[in-house]
Amino acid sequence: MRDNPVFASGTGSADQALATNKVLRNTYMMLAMTMLVSAVTASLAMWMNLGHGAGMLMMIGAIVLIWFVLPRTANTDKGIYVVFAFTALMGAALGPTLNHYLSLSNGGSIVMQALGGTALVFFTLSGYVLTTRKDFSFMGGFLMTGLVVLVLVAFALMLGSFFGFHVPAAQLALSAGIVLLMSGFILFDTSRIIHGGETNYLMATVALYLDIYNLFTSLLHILGVMNDD
């Protein structure tokens, strides 16, 4: 007896939908837990009053994990521990920056505004994709080009700062560019999950985590400049 092609197609679509929903559910659960881990390690780093040098070392350690370790462990149980270690280091690396802003006269307000702005942007954009089911995969090339450009600009500004050239307007423009770019990545990364472009929830979690992290730090810088006395 031949299989009914309509029934087979319907079953395949249903299975794919279930798999996508599972990846989506696991991603958001993991994302919430990694955010909590980062908050704890950031608080510890602030309490220990770690310096920017220590923060930079932790950032380098996090990059090593995400570039060299996670790709080899993403499909195993070890990958979960790698993601938690990565986000713990990223949270700790943020501690010195948070201490810097909190030392300002209105630092608490700046940090809370950045947190609120980050949450608003993430939930609005991610919710839009989840509600409309729109496919934003067409943005991939544009976003990667934008990322390369911003990395080159950041490197140029860092090099200029090393030689004593400081251009506050350019640094502010860079932060604004990162906010726009990360907003685009939130649309793109959420779309990849619901349309089957990303089937590994650990990789999906890391992608959204980095979108949120970079969005938050850039908003911190922008608000810090705007509120500078």
Q: What are the mean pLDDT values of the chain's consecutive 10-residue runs (229 residues total)?
A: 45 73 95 98 97 95 96 95 98 97 93 97 97 95 96 89 79 96 98 94 97 98 84
Taking CA atoms, 61 is separated from 79, 85, 87, 95, in Å, by: 16, 9, 11, 15
The b-or-e profile of 17-33 (16+ CB within 10 A means b, else e) is eeebeebbebbbebbee
| Residue 57 neighbours by CB under 8 Å, 6+ apart | none
The b-or-e profile of 181-205 (16+ CB within 10 A means b, else e) is bbbbbbbbbbbbbbeeebebbbbbb
How far is C-alpha 214 from the chain's CA centre?
6
| Nearest-angstrom CA–CA distance, 156 and 166 | 11
- pLDDT value at position 10? 52
- pLDDT value at position 172? 94
Q: If you compute the radius of gyration of the chain from its CA atoms, what whole number of angstroms results?
A: 20
3-class SS at 166?
coil
- pLDDT value at position 6? 42
